[in-house]
Amino acid sequence: MSKLQKYLDFLIEKYEVETKGILSDDGKKVSVDGKEYPLLPWRNERRFIELKKICETTVGEISHFKIMSVNSKSISLSDVIKKEIDLVEYIGASKITKVFEAKNGETCSIICETEKGWVATLELACSLPSKTKTVDKHEIITDRGTACDRGVDSQTPLYSTYVYGGEEKTFTDVDFELYGLTAEEISVVRQAFEITKNGKIGEENIQSDARLEKLLNCIEKSEKTCEDVRV
Amino acid sequence: MERIKIAMMSMTHGHTRKYYDVLKNNPKLEWIAVSTENEEVKKIFKNSVEGIPCYDSDEEMLDKHPEIEAVVIASANSRHYEQMKLLAERKIDILSMKIPTFDMEEYEKIEKLVKDNGIICQIELECHYNPVTVRFKELVKSGKMGKIYSFNARNTTLSPVWAFPWQGVPELSYGKRVKIKEGFGKFRGGALCDHPHIFDMIREVTESEFDYVFARVAPNIRHDIEEEDMLSVVGKMKNGVVFSLDPSWSNMEERLKVPGPGWEKYPKRMEVYMTANCEKGSVVTDLFGPNVYHNGAPNDRYTVQYTYFDEWVGLVDEFVENVRLRRTPKINLEWHKKTVEVMNAIYESISTGRPVKL
């Protein structure tokens, strides 16, 4: 049994959920009562939950959603694009209507327009040595202030724990019940648990996943044709 | 395991609302009732939680619900003794807010009540159930960093006195009116009484007790409150570890009656940082970071929006186990007594201007 499955089983037992969720080996799907659901785990990451709330209640009309994400070479660029364009639509609550991509190897720059008229820019790369932590930033500029997952005067992530001396290390621990997992692993377990409890979320994921595949195709087409592609 | 029938009392403490979700969602608990101390907190509670019976007195609630097995005491420090006595005499287990009492004679009476009646009394020090604390303890206590030389920490917040008025009244917070020092014009009962966590955590992390403390009160940044809001503490543990600890209310606030968006003037409401400087290096932690940030409604000020605030999940899980297995809580009265004693010693050091040996 995988490490993540053990944590999922722990939550299912603790909260007395009657159905059983089974995670796929790659952690990209969960199976509940024989039905398989794709996971969009970033939607369960706390910083994105809070950014979504801020966009709904605290800042104003979005003008520009800026995303930077630099990842390890062991991560696929298309997985990064999929995650980030979903965050654009999910946090900003508006569908992408047009995409333009410029790509070079495992790096790309994308400009999107949404149905509400605001713009998203994505600067993405999978260029770091294997196992390097992702460096990313999500900044939403509105007509009533800016929301961001990085503090003012910083371009890179902060961590909750820094170990100095000898081999320097950093940790960000965000979940007491799931202590020991990374934030990304926690979001996989949390979303699999949500779907196990509530199939409606799984159904929404099926629809969203299909839409993301369509968006990925449009982005690929844009790169090939050097055109602004309507979705 | 049968569900524990739990209630809450008073609802005047700043942590009251932290229990709402966990009492509703923990499948091992059945939330029976609450008693509210005044109309104001009753209204706030009823606007926040539906379907839980609400009584105007503790006795009425307990009489109407003899099935109650455990109670979260969410009141002013000055009310803890009488409420603990009431519960102990009815053999009801207790989860108490941070300070049972600052009066050490009263503290001993509480210990006796708990022991004589065979009840569980757990003290709410929620920082133990923060995952960053777990990481910090794991790194430092494992010996990987070598011997620890110094421990520095701050637990600074905005002042809660506008939303939770008892915290601004020396008699209700500290238990009596005592001048903080001659010629200073403020009384005991402020920031120090609000922030025991770092004085508790250093004992566990260093596996030692306080040798001596020296403290100074700094000029208040809120001139119109009666208690201290800025202070600083240094000293040494019995194993030689030196420390610097800051429990101030140094993060300025809007004077809201009900906490909500816009409470903070300084961008972050609450900060807990702990650093251990050890033989092989240092561990630097932020228990409530990183977060997300905005400068939107209601005041268009740069603001930290927290991404983590779940300590009560682990804390209540432990309480449930303690009650069902009749297990002594990690933060029990005996352990916590030394933390309260050092807090009193800090007040003594401020008052005398001298280090206080423990």
Label residue B184 exposed, middle or buried (CB < 10 Å: 0-12, 13-18, 19+).
middle
Cα–Cα dist B100/B97, whole Å:
7
Label residue A98 exposed, middle or buried (CB < 10 Å: 0-12, 13-18, 19+).
middle
Cβ-Cβ contacts under 8 Å, B287 against chain A = 160
CB B80 within 8 A of CB B318: no
Q: Which two tokens stand for residue B58?
A: 């503790």
Q: Which two tokens stand for residue B1?
A: 């395991």
CB B72 within 8 A of CB B19: yes
Separation in Å, CA of A117 to nearest CA in chain B: 21
> How high is the ipTM of this complex?
0.95
Q: Is A171–B281 a contact, with Cβ atoms under 8 angstroms apart? A: no
Q: Is A144–B296 a contact, with Cβ atoms under 8 angstroms apart? A: yes
The total number of residues written for chain B in this structure: 358
Cα–Cα dist A135/B89, whole Å:
57
Q: What is the CATH number of the domain that holds B71?
A: 3.40.50.720
Which residues numbered 155-174 in A keep a CB inside 8 Å of some CB on B?
157-166, 171-174
Q: What is the pLDDT of residue B2?
A: 87
Q: What is the pLDDT of residue A1?
A: 65
Q: What is the pLDDT of residue A148?
A: 98
Q: Which two tokens stand for residue A206?
A: 């099926």
Q: β-pairing, B70-73 with B281-286?
A: unpaired
B181 within a domain of the structure (yes/no):
yes
B83 and B23 belong to one structural domain: yes
The rounded mean pLDDT for chain A is 96
The count of structural domains within chain A is 1
Q: Which two tokens stand for residue A80?
A: 């990064």
Q: Which two tokens stand for residue A179?
A: 């202590």
CB B322 within 8 A of CB A62: no
Q: What is the CATH number of the domain that holds A29?
A: 3.30.360.10
B229 and B350 belong to one structural domain: yes
Q: What is the CATH number of the domain that holds B303?
A: 3.30.360.10
B149 and B112 belong to one structural domain: no
User: Which of A161, A167, A168, A174 should we substitute to test contact with B (largest number of B Cβ atoms within 10 Å)?
Assistant: A161
B280 and B353 belong to one structural domain: yes
**pLDDT digits over A88-140, tens only?**
999 999 999 999 999 999 999 999 999 999 999 999 999 999 989 999 999 99
Among chain A residues, the shortest Cα distance to B130 is held by A176
Q: What is the pLDDT of residue A166?
A: 80
Q: Is B132–A160 a contact, with Cβ atoms under 8 angstroms apart? A: yes
Cβ-Cβ contacts under 8 Å, B262 against chain A = none
**pLDDT digits over A71-94, tens only?**
999 999 999 999 999 999 999 999
Separation in Å, CA of B6 to nearest CA in chain A: 18
Instruction: Note down the domain range covering B83.
Output: 4-119
Q: Which residue has the tokens 């503090």?
A: A151
B42 and B179 belong to one structural domain: no
Greatest alpha-carbon span in chain B: 59
Beta bridge partners of A119: A64, A113
Neighbour order of strands in the sheet with B4-10 = B54-55, B29-36, B4-10, B70-73, B93-96, B121-123
Q: What are the phi and psi torsion angles at B58 (to 5°)?
A: -65, -45
Q: What is the pLDDT of residue A58?
A: 97
B148 and B72 belong to one structural domain: no
Lowest mean per-residue pLDDT among A56-65, A160-169, B49-58: A160-169
CA A90 distance to own-chain centroid: 10
Per-residue pLDDT of chain B (358 residues; tens, 9 = 90+): 789 999 999 999 999 999 999 999 999 999 999 999 999 999 999 999 999 999 999 999 999 999 999 999 999 999 999 999 999 999 999 999 999 999 999 999 999 999 999 999 999 999 999 999 999 999 999 888 999 999 999 999 999 999 999 999 999 999 999 999 999 999 999 999 999 999 999 999 999 999 999 999 999 999 999 999 999 999 999 999 999 999 999 999 999 999 999 999 999 999 999 999 999 999 999 999 999 999 999 999 999 999 988 899 999 999 999 999 999 999 999 999 999 999 999 999 999 999 999 9
B65 and B94 belong to one structural domain: yes
Q: What is the pLDDT of residue B308?
A: 83
* Per-residue confidence band for A167, with pLDDT thresholds at 50, 70 and 90: confident
B40 within a domain of the structure (yes/no):
yes
Cα–Cα dist B94/B102, whole Å:
18
Residue A50 has pLDDT above 90, yes or no: yes
List b or e across A15-52, with b for residues whose CB sees 16 or more CB atoms inside 10 angstroms. Answer: eeeeeebbbbeebebbbbeeeebbbbbbbbbbbbbbbb
Asked if A47 is an interface residue toward chain B (Cβ–Cβ < 8 A), one would say yes
Q: Which residue has the tokens 């009596």?
A: B176
B316 within a domain of the structure (yes/no):
no
Label residue B230 exposed, middle or buried (CB < 10 Å: 0-12, 13-18, 19+).
buried
User: How is residue B187 annotated by DSSP?
Assistant: B
Separation in Å, CA of B112 to nearest CA in chain A: 33
Asked if B152 is an interface residue toward chain A (Cβ–Cβ < 8 A), one would say no
- B66: preceding bond cis by omega (within 30 degrees): no
Instruction: Note down the domain range covering A222.
Output: 3-230
CB B223 within 8 A of CB B355: no
The count of structural domains within chain B is 2
Q: Which two tokens stand for residue B88?
A: 């102990």
Distance (Å) of CA B123 to CA A19, A192, B100, B331, B339: 36, 34, 8, 6, 12
Asked if B21 is an interface residue toward chain A (Cβ–Cβ < 8 A), one would say no
Cβ-Cβ contacts under 8 Å, B314 against chain A = 176-177
B324 within a domain of the structure (yes/no):
no
Q: Which two tokens stand for residue A11?
A: 């939550």
Which residues numbered 3-22 in A keep a CB inside 8 Å of some CB on B?
14-16
B219 and B350 belong to one structural domain: yes
Of chain A, the end-to-end C-alpha distance in Å amounts to 40
B215 and B345 belong to one structural domain: yes
B104 and B156 belong to one structural domain: no
Cα–Cα dist A216/A228, whole Å:
14
B327 within a domain of the structure (yes/no):
no
B138 and B70 belong to one structural domain: no
CB A39 within 8 A of CB A27: yes
Separation in Å, CA of A167 to nearest CA in chain B: 9
How many CA atoms lie less than 13 Å away from B154 in the CB half-sphere?
14
B80 and B182 belong to one structural domain: no
Cα–Cα dist B87/A31, whole Å:
48
Q: What is the pLDDT of residue B33?
A: 98
Cα–Cα dist A139/A150, whole Å:
8
Provide the 10 A C-beta neighbour count for residue B320.
20
Domain boundary residue among B97, B119, B141?
A: B119
Angle among Cα B227, B228, B231 to the nearest 5 degrees reads: 170
Q: Is B286–A150 a contact, with Cβ atoms under 8 angstroms apart? A: no
Separation in Å, CA of B103 to nearest CA in chain A: 34
